[in-house]
Amino acid sequence: MILALINADCGEEFKIICYFSSWTGIHPEAKNCTHIVYTFARIEDDNTLTGVWNNPLKEFKNNKDPELKVLLAVGGQDYAIRRANEMMSKDDSRQKFVISTTKLLRTHEFDGIDLNFEPSEALGPPSTPNVQLIEDKKKFSQLCKDLQEEYAEEAGRTGRARLLLTVTISGIKEQLESRFDLQELAKCADWLNVQTYDYRGSRDKIAEHHSALMQAANAQDDEKDLNQDSAIKYIVNSGVEPSKLTLGLPAFGKKFRFTSDSRDIGSSATSVGSVAYTELCRNTMSGWQRVFLDDRKVPIMTKGDEFIGFDDLQSMELKINYAKEQRLGGIVIYPVNFDDSSGQSCNQGKFPIVSLVKQLTSNYTVSCLPPPTQPLNITIAPRNRTKNITPKWKLTRTDYLSSGLGLHKYHRRINNSAYVIRSIYTIEYVLFSFLFFSCINYV
């Protein structure tokens, strides 16, 4: 119980994390995001973090919302993941990368880093037939630990706020088992972003929803795991505190083209690609037929031989409420650029997805109580206007030296204020329990 109290992030603000792609030129509304993740930095051949020449979002912090946190993501595509594997293969290359992240983040006034070594088909199909994946979960955990220690020590040396460290993980059970040491990552990262989308895509030969909230009624074998609820419950049952998790909310759908006369979900089809939320809105106004899947709690749309599994405001509200009822730490909107920035494509106001998350979580803090044991009530009235049919490196470093003072050594736990505060609470809890039971025995 005490360990759970130390590791818990409950009682804190519900995070609204907006993944932002710089090349689109669309800036999110900072007032509705608690965190913005800027994509993507890259790992150079010399194992340093680079690829970012400025931070276009720092004005949000300086002029609009000083409390906003802006993180820099590294990864996202095959090449970056391949380079990450090479970087983590040796201690010295990993050390060089870790130190370089501190320099880059501080130079451009970022508040932290997100390790996103999960390829997303929203960025386009894989560049090679064999998708690049992190091969060694022990080395990945070691990288996370090294970064945690580096950021704690740097904060102790400089007196600045500690840089944040987050990790984006898969939402598929098979991959979670083979590629991630979930308990170790939960210890070193501030939180874990669960990629609860891309369950279906170019590797599949059937038309299915890529981000179902619940299990399909007819799901068989491994297909039972291809939904958000199964992913979250697997991670929590692995020993990760729910408040350390954020739920991925895709601002895109997946389009398939049927390859037979059958036009039902689950029929043979080929993947066509991702569809932004703004285009989805236009589809609903141009002859596409919408069906809400009561078992999966998400909608699909069809027209001719085309099929799209997507999210609209109805299913998004269900997912946001699910995150709250499961005591999760927040929502990740991926990517926020696909939201309706002008308010003209969907007629739902500017940034309707981000605004919905903000509306449903305003003045809400992450619950410290366990989720309800009764069945989750996630039925709401449809809103859609369309027809409903049914470091290890303890080495001397030049940046550790101050003139006339020599080498400074810091212990990450001593300099981690959150650890100190939680430790005090733990001591008070133990003393209170001792006094309480002593009184009982005395009486």
Highest mean pLDDT among 39-43, 232-236, 380-384, 421-425: 232-236
- Return the structure tokens found at 405: 């003072």
Q: Please report whether residue 215 resides in a domain.
A: yes
How many helices and strands in the chain, by DSSP H and E?
12, 16
What is the model's pLDDT at position 248?
98
Question: By the 8 A CB rule, do 9 and 243 touch?
Answer: yes
Please report, for residues 97, 99, 102, 355, the alpha-carbon distance to residue 407 in angstroms, rounded to integers and kept in the order given: 21, 17, 19, 49
Percent of the chain with pLDDT over 70: 76
CATH number of residue 15's parent domain? 3.20.20.80
Q: Which residues contact 18 (CB under 8 A, 6 or more apart)?
A: 28, 32, 33, 35, 36, 37, 333, 336, 354
**CB crowding 210-222: b at 16 or more within 10 Å, else e:** bbbbbbbeebeee
What is the model's pLDDT at position 80?
79
Please give the tally of structural domains in the chain: 1
Q: Please report whether residue 424 resides in a domain.
A: no
CA distance 63 to 234: 41
User: How many residues are listed for the chain in this entry?
Assistant: 443
Q: Please report whether residue 149 resides in a domain.
A: yes
Residue 22: pLDDT over 80: no
332-373 tens-digit pLDDT: 999 999 999 999 999 999 999 999 999 999 999 998 877 665
Q: Please report whether residue 19 resides in a domain.
A: yes
Q: How confident is the model at residue 202 (pLDDT cuts 50, 70, 90)?
A: confident
Asked if the bond preceding 335 is cis, omega within 30° of 0, the reply is: yes
What is the model's pLDDT at position 256?
97
What is the model's pLDDT at position 121?
74
Q: Please report whether residue 178 resides in a domain.
A: yes
CA distance 412 to 423: 14
Q: Please report whether residue 404 resides in a domain.
A: yes
Q: Please report whether residue 429 resides in a domain.
A: no
- Strand-strand pairing, 15-21 and 35-43: parallel
Sheet holding 269-276, edge to edge: 269-276, 252-258, 306-309, 298-303, 289-293
Higher pLDDT, residue 402 or 11: 11
Lowest mean pLDDT among 162-166, 320-324, 400-404, 428-432: 400-404
Q: Which residues contact 26 (CB under 8 A, 6 or more apart)?
A: 336, 337, 341
Q: Please report whether residue 307 resides in a domain.
A: no
Question: By the 8 A CB rule, do 17 and 195 touch?
Answer: no
What is the model's pLDDT at position 422?
45
Q: How confident is the model at residue 407 (pLDDT cuts 50, 70, 90)?
A: very low
What is the model's pLDDT at position 421?
41
Q: Which residues contact 299 (CB under 8 A, 6 or more apart)?
A: 290, 291, 292, 293, 310, 311, 312, 314, 315, 384
> Mean pLDDT across the stretch 174-202?
95
3-class DSSP assignment, residue 239: coil
> Mean pLDDT across the stretch 380-386?
43
Which domain covers residue 131, as residue numbers?
Answer: 2-248+313-412
Residue 11: pLDDT over 90: no
